């Protein structure tokens, strides 16, 4: 587990005594993770606009409310380094923006998130996601688990839900999933990006070149059957899907294929689409309207409960 750079965020309410100033308090977290001294975070707190969040370097245990697991998207694409603070930064932003308010948040940074080992939600990523969800369910048997992911992080979540490595307890505890600009597969992304970025006669080039740049994105199983595998996802799980109308990485047609497949399989699906051209791929969570829709979705599902220790 140490190689995953886990950080757990547990909110605490301080009522009238809370300083509501919006300070950027992420730097101590980044310093601890970059230096390999993650355990120094234990018991420290981060000040948010309307709450304090206590940090831990281990997974939560004995919680009875909602536990969010943030599955990070591609963290590094230009070199072969791992940025251990980036997974925690995504969860920090979710708390700071108010998307997550009362539940416990768990972040991690996959050690394979380097250009030469990035697996795009396939077998390597699925093993890590399954291991984390299984362990969270084991340590918190009555908590509701909500995985959250962007692009390739969403791919990893969907492939894990459709796979066979989640324990029965974990499958039961997963109540809802929040996906932002979900990618069906790396193959589909390469095709979509070729269509978006290259002239008509050269669209074929991107799917040919990209697998050489991201060598580990080649799956051992055919990716053409990914959508069909969604029939294996437990039917009680509800989905919130956020997308951008102008997304060139995961265009609306590809995201719609995910939506329609889930609806066909009788899942409850809530969709939010933004036409704001100022928002780039992977940053929809900054949109205030999207934040409100996520909160509404969580309320409808009776989630985002304070996860008090049992």
Q: At what angle do helices 205-213 and 186-197 cross, to 10 degrees?
A: 130
**Is position 220 within any domain?**
no
**Is position 277 within any domain?**
yes
Kindly report each contact of residues 83-88 with a partner whose C-beta sits within 8 Å and lies 24 or more positions away, as own/partner. Answer: 83/109, 83/113, 84/5, 84/33, 84/34, 84/109, 85/5, 85/29, 85/30, 85/33, 85/34, 85/109, 86/113, 87/5, 87/7, 88/5, 88/7, 88/26, 88/29, 88/30, 88/33
Which comes out higher in pLDDT, residue 204 or 287? 287
Q: What percent of the chain has pLDDT over 90?
A: 35
The CATH code of the domain that includes 98 is: 3.40.50.1820
Which comes out higher in pLDDT, residue 81 or 102? 102
* pLDDT tens string 158-173: 999 999 899 999 999 9
**Is position 310 within any domain?**
no
**H/E run at residue 244:** strand 238-244
Which comes out higher in pLDDT, residue 139 or 123? 139
Non-local (6+) Cβ contacts of 217 within 8 A are 118, 119, 120, 122, 186, 210, 211
In the chain, the number of structural domains is 1
**H/E run at residue 136:** helix 123-139
**Is position 307 within any domain?**
no
Q: For position 218, what pLDDT does the model report?
A: 63
**Is position 212 within any domain?**
no
Which comes out higher in pLDDT, residue 131 or 211? 131
Confidence category of residue 306, pLDDT binned at 50, 70, 90:
low
Confidence category of residue 212, pLDDT binned at 50, 70, 90:
confident
Please state which of the ranges 5-9, 128-132, 219-223 shows the lowest mean pLDDT: 219-223
Q: Which domain holds residue 162?
A: 2-185+230-300
Q: For position 237, what pLDDT does the model report?
A: 96
**Is position 218 within any domain?**
no
Mean pLDDT computed over 171-192 = 87
pLDDT at 65 over 70: yes
Which comes out higher in pLDDT, residue 220 or 292? 292
Rg (CA), the chain: 19
Between strands 176-180 and 238-244, the pairing is: parallel
* pLDDT tens string 4-60: 889 999 988 544 333 434 455 788 888 888 888 888 889 888 888 777 888 999 999
**Is position 216 within any domain?**
no
**Is position 206 within any domain?**
no
């Amino acid at each position: 587990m140490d190689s995953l750079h886990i950080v757990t965020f547990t909110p605490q309410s301080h009522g009238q005594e809370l300083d509501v100033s919006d300070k950027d308090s992420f730097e101590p977290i980044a310093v601890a993770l970059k230096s390999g001294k993650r355990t120094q975070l234990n018991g420290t707190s981060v000040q948010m606009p309307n709450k304090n969040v206590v940090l831990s370097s281990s997974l939560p245990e004995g919680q009875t409310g909602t536990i969010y697991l943030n599955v990070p998207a591609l963290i590094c694409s230009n070199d072969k380094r791992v940025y251990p603070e980036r997974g925690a930064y995504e969860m920090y932003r979710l708390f700071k923006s108010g998307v997550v308010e009362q539940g416990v948040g768990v972040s991690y940074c996959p050690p394979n998130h380097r250009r030469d080992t990035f697996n795009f939600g396939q077998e390597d990523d699925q093993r890590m996601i399954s291991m984390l969800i299984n362990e969270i369910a084991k340590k918190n048997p009555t908590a509701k688990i909500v995985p959250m992911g962007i692009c390739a992080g969403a791919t990893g979540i969907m492939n894990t839900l459709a796979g066979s490595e989640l324990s029965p307890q974990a499958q039961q505890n997963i109540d809802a999933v929040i996906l932002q600009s979900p990618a069906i597969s790396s193959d589909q992304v390469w095709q979509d990006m070729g269509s978006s970025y290259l002239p008509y006669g050269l669209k074929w080039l991107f799917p040919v070149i990209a697998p050489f740049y991201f060598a580990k994105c080649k799956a051992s199983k055919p990716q053409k059957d990914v959508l069909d595998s969604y029939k294996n996802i437990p039917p009680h799980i509800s989905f919130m899907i956020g997308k951008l109308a102008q997304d060139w990485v995961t265009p609306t047609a590809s995201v719609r294929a995910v939506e329609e497949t889930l609806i066909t399989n009788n899942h409850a699906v809530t969709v939010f689409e933004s036409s704001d051209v100022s928002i780039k791929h992977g940053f929809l969570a900054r949109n205030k309207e999207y934040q409100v829709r996520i909160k509404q979705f969580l309320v409808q599902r009776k989630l985002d409960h304070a996860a008090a220790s049992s």
